Structure 1
Amino acid sequence: MSILITFDGPKGVGKTTLIRLVAQRLHEVGRSVEALVEKDLMAVALGSEIDEAYRALKSSPGRASDAEVARLHKQGRLLISSSQLNASTAEIVLLDRWYPSDAVFRRYIDVVEAIDANLRAGVRVPDIAFAVICGAEVSWERAHGRERRLDSKVIDTFDDHHASTMRFEGISRKFGWSILRSDSATADELGRQVVAAIQLKLECS
């Protein structure tokens, strides 16, 4: 079975850029890598149901609509775990977002309980879960400087973004995810750190 490496974090922290860099470097050293995006996999697994849930959350934000999005994400992750992830023939699967991202986007429910619900249900647990973080002001500016800008179904204001950044960092420490600070290291430095951690994990497997 492939080892699963996940990357989560608030918008604009440089997560997607880091995944591309890590995939390239792993290919260069002869590793078989598959890079996947949870959002794309979720669309296939759940179809329009997840879009409808997000529309309901946007129009009527609150505990019930947020819990429904979390429930569907858990359901989708179970399907993705048993199909794409467990069936991959690559040595390494790099996954752009997974259940740690509930700590970024779920605002109206108990995030720890939502993550625990994923784990109790049997959602695939990453071999390494990277939490990519930086100061909220930095990631906000980065997100608005890119072509797709913030591009969020949930976060609208800087206050929302700042709160989600603080929440994600705190829960990352609670669950022991591997924290990468993208405001105190370059993408190149973080890429080397991630590749070294993955290589070590493969050697120990």
Structure 2
Amino acid sequence: MNRPLFVSLDGPKGAGKTTLLEAVTRVLRADGNKVIRLCERKSDPFRGETMALVNQLARAPSQDLEWDVCGRLADSRRWISQEVLPRQPADSIILIDRWYPSDAAFRRLVPFADILQLNMDRGVRVPDLHVGVVTAPETSWARAMARARGLSSTVIHRLEEHVACTRAFEQAATEQGWVLCRNEGTVLDATMHVVAEIYGMPGLQRLHTQPARL
């Protein structure tokens, strides 16, 4: 590879993205790969200002305000694309927890195709591999409710809202041709699915499947 392989893991709340990302990281590193883990939220220097708008949008939904949120998120991703991603080693695999597919789940008034075009127009880097982590909404809801922090969402408070987010995300993922990883079984199964997809990318044509590495 002459630049890092950029892989995004995304999906609705409670789908197990972070747990899966940690397991995938362990397997890739055990195979001798240089893995960089990033989080969109933690890499975004403008997050506070954007979340203030998100909170306002949650209280009083409007298409204009949602467009403002989409634009701010796109600008933040452009900044990460220009200032963070190029600084990573060229021979590394970057795994990022959320990228612009997040908007496929959480935006309600602006079509995702328009949001995607907005990101492209602003120079946001396209991940080399999109992985959509999904479960039945009832499963991810139950998982989230079992955590001490609960769902931990600014915009989702009821099961029916979570169901709508999950369906919106799966529809966008299917339309865009992202890899869907169903995370309703074992972490091992989901991990090896994602690892296989990564090793199937150009420049990483090898696959190791020793589950003991988890």
Same fold (TM over 0.5): yes
Aligned-partner SS, 2:171: helix
Which residues in structure 2 correspond to 1:65-144 (within 5 Å)? 65-89=65-89, 91-144=92-145
- Aligned ranges 1:115-194 → 2 under 5 Å: 115-183=116-184, 185-194=185-194
Instruction: Provide the secondary structure at the position in 2 that maps to 1:154.
Output: coil
Superposed CA offset, 1:65-105 (max 9, x none): 22111110000000000111122116100000001110111
The TM-score with structure 1 as length reference comes to: 0.93
| Letter of the structure 2 residue corresponding to residue 72 of structure 1 | R
Task: Select the structure that is richer in helix.
Answer: 1
SS of match in other structure, 2:180: strand
Alignment-derived partner of residue 29 in structure 1: 31
Q: Which amino acid aligns with 2:139?
A: V
Deviation per CA, 1:136-162, whole angstroms, max 9, x where unpaired? 111111111112210111111111110
Paired with 1:16 and 1:38, the residues of 2 have a C-alpha distance of 12
Displacement of 1:106 after TM fit? Answer: 0.5
Q: Which runs of 5+ in 1 are unaligned?
A: none
| Structure 2: tracts of 5 or more residues without a match | 206-214
**Would the aligned equivalents of 2:41 and 2:47 in 1 still touch at CA under 8 Å?**
no
One-letter amino acid of the structure 2 residue matched with residue 107 of structure 1: R
| Runs of 4+ that moved beyond 2 A | none
CA distance in 2, matches of 1:175, 1:48: 30
Tell me the CA shift for residue 130 of structure 1. 0.2
CA distance, structure 1, for counterparts of residue 15 and residue 173 of structure 2: 15
Q: Who is 1:199 aligned against?
A: 199
| In 1: Cα distance, 2:50 partner to 2:142 partner | 28
Q: Secondary structure at the match of 1:203?
A: coil
Task: Count the aligned residue pairs.
Answer: 201
| 3-state secondary structure, aligned to 2:12 | coil
**CA-based RMSD:** 1.3
Q: Give CA-to-partner distance per residue, 1:13-43, whole Å, 9 cap, x none.
A: 111100000011111111000111111112x
Taking the aligned partners of 2:162 and 2:145, their CA distance within structure 1 comes to 12
Deviations 1:89-134 (A, max 9, x none): 1610000000111011101211221112112322111111001111
Tell me which amino acid in the other structure corresponds to 1:31.
N
> Matched residues, percent identical?
34
Q: 2:105, 2:169 within 8 Å by CA — same for their partners in 1?
A: yes
Per-residue Cα deviation, 1:142-185 (whole angstroms, up to 9, x for no partner)? 111112210111111111110111111011010000001112x3
CA positional deviation for 1:58:
2.4
Paired with 2:133 and 2:186, the residues of 1 have a C-alpha distance of 12
Q: Distance in 2 between matches of 1:77 and 1:156?
A: 26
SS in 2 for 1:6: strand
